[in-house]
């Protein structure tokens, strides 16, 4: 809630990601696209001479307090509650401890060490709000996911986000100098569902590492990941939880086999990821579903892999399915397309932006509709080849360098034109003697 005018060029920012480390393996626990986003953006900002300190919670005794990722990018692990055994839902009770850790770091640094705070996800926003206010710098916040959006698109049997999260998000929206949305649609959701000031909402689309995710030989990729060269590989990549809807792909694959029995001898359904969120409560749910549908022998579960191996899986696939019920952007879709793999995705959230005209969008999650969409790709080799070419062209329009450049512009605007203190806050401060204001 800064009212300080910009006094110098932006040198260093404090980036806050409380609940998941940017160094964590995406696809495990709560790590996903946000982890990739935060780390890639930090690297690109550092290459623009904007140093980034990434604050995250310590989750293992083996984690060093400070990790230099590359010059200008430092990850700081802060103790906030037990290292292990805390779920994301437990973390609101640890925000005070986390904030105290940030204050201690700043106390040992020169005055004015941080020029701006950029928080990611609402838990980080609560801490970022305090830090920015204490340091007298702007707060920039990126939601990544929003409770009110998720609750509008719940999967069957999934649990709604709690009221406390909605309230916490609304507070961060009110406090932030700038709000960064991944897409125009997310920007509208911030304005319509959270009453955000349109003048304080900016869009910065995520990127993709085109040096890692690029087209390659499907046969070579299949040899590396152990998939037969003549297989029909339908691939899901992501955290295994109701929100991401891998069950939609499994059900659609069973329907495909029913329609086309000739596929049974060649079809492989790859599920690449780890249990997360409410999916942890029933880790065998997908396996049991595949057994009930009679295709357990066709489904292959693969634990999360590093980025180079992930690119091989994308290249090996005939298509990548992204059937999420809610998705702020859909990084998996762009990564797959960058590898020249057609994408079939749910027509929700940011996926229309991520997929663009290069993929197939499916309205809803009906099994028959999804089976038809999958069949439209694997049953039409010529059309699939066209999708592959247009996918590469579409993905080339996304880059982390562009994302970082847009964020740098948002940071500069926040420093040059900070949000004014609301009238009720100004009246409150007016009654306090200046000497006691820190």
The response to whether 396 counts as a known ligand-binding position is no
Would the annotation count 150 as a binding residue? no
- Looking at 356-422, list the stretches that DSSP marks H as alpha helix, in order from N- to C-terminal side: 367-378, 381-395, 400-416
Tokens of 377: 């790709």
Rounded to the nearest 5 percent, the helix, strand and coil shares of the chain are 45, 15, 35
On whether 25 is known to bind a ligand per the annotation, the reply is: yes
Q: Give CA torsion, residues 243, 246, 248, 250, to 10 deg.
A: -160
Contact 410, 204 (CB under 8 A): yes
Q: What is the dihedral of CA 241, 266, 359, 219, to 10 degrees?
A: 110
Tell me: is residue 194 an annotated ligand-binding position: no
Q: Rounded distance, CA 211 to CA 422, Å? A: 46
d(CA 308, CA 24): 16
Q: Is 121 annotated as a binding residue?
A: yes
Check the annotation: does 30 bind a ligand.
yes
Give dist(CA 12, CA 114) in Å, integer.
5
Per the annotation, does 145 bind a ligand?
yes
Return d(Cα 273, Cα 253) in angstroms, integer. Answer: 18
246 contact partners, CB below 8 Å, separation of at least 6 = 236, 238, 240, 271, 273, 286, 323
The answer to whether 146 is annotated as binding is no
15 is in an annotated binding site: no
Q: Is 182 annotated as a binding residue?
A: no
17 known member of a binding site:
no
Determine whether the annotation assigns residue 341 to a binding site: yes
CB atoms within 10 A of CB 29: 21
According to the annotation, is 251 in a ligand binding site?
no
Determine if residue 327 is labeled as part of a ligand binding site: yes
66, with CB counted inside 10 A (0-12, 13-18, 19+), is: exposed
Residues contributing to the annotated binding site = 19, 25-26, 30-35, 88, 121, 145, 165, 239, 244, 305, 314-315, 317, 327, 335, 341
Residues contributing to the annotated binding site for Mg(2+) = 314-315, 317, 341
Residues contributing to the annotated binding site for 1D-myo-inositol 3-phosphate = 19, 30-35, 88, 121, 145, 165
Residues contributing to the annotated binding site for UDP-N-acetyl-alpha-D-glucosamine = 25-26, 33, 239, 244, 305, 327, 335
């Amino acid at each position: 809630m800064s009212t300080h005018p910009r006094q110098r060029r932006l040198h260093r920012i404090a980036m806050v990601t409380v609940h998941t480390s940017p160094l964590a393996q995406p696809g495990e626990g709560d790590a996903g696209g946000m982890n990739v986003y935060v780390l890639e953006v930090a690297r690109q900002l550092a290459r623009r001479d904007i140093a980034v300190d990434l604050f995250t919670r310590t989750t293992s005794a083996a984690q060093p307090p400070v990790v230099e990722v590359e010059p200008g990018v430092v990850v700081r692990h802060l103790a906030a509650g037990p290292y292990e055994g805390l779920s994301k839902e437990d973390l609101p009770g640890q925000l005070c401890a986390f904030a105290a850790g940030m204050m201690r770091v700043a106390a040992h640094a020169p005055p004015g060490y941080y020029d701006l705070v950029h928080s990611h996800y609402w838990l980080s926003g609560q801490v970022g709000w305090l830090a920015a206010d204490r340091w007298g710098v702007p707060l920039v916040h990126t939601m990544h996911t929003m409770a009110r959006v998720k609750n509008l698109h719940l999967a069957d049997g999934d649990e709604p986000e709690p009221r406390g999260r909605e309230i916490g998000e609304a507070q961060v929206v009110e406090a932030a100098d700038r709000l960064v949305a991944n897409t125009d649609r997310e920007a509208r959701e911030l304005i319509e569902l959270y009453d955000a000031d349109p003048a304080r909402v900016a869009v910065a689309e995520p990127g993709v590492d085109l040096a890692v995710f690029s087209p390659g030989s499907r046969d070579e990729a299949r040899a590396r990941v152990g998939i037969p060269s003549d297989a029909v590989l339908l691939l899901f990549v992501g955290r295994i939880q109701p929100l991401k809807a891998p069950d939609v792909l499994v059900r659609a694959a069973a329907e495909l086999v029913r329609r086309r029995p000739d596929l049974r001898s060649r079809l492989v359904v790859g599920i690449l990821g780890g249990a997360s969120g409410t999916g942890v409560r029933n880790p065998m749910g997908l396996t049991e579903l595949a057994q009930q549908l009679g295709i357990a022998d066709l489904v292959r579960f693969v634990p999360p892999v590093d980025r180079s191996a992930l690119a091989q899986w994308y290249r090996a696939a005939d298509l990548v399915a992204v059937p999420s019920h809610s998705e702020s952007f859909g990084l998996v879709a762009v990564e797959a397309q960058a590898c020249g793999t057609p994408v079939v995705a749910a027509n929700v959230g940011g996926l229309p932006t991520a997929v663009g005209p290069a993929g197939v969008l499916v309205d809803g999650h009906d099994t028959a509709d999804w089976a038809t969409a999958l069949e439209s790709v694997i049953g039409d080799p010529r059309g699939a080849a066209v999708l592959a070419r247009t996918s590469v062209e579409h993905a080339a329009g996304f880059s982390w360098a562009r994302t970082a450049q847009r964020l740098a512009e948002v940071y500069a605007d926040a420093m040059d034109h900070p949000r004014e203190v609301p009238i009720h806050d100004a009246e409150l401060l007016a009654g306090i003697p200046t000497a006691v204001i820190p």
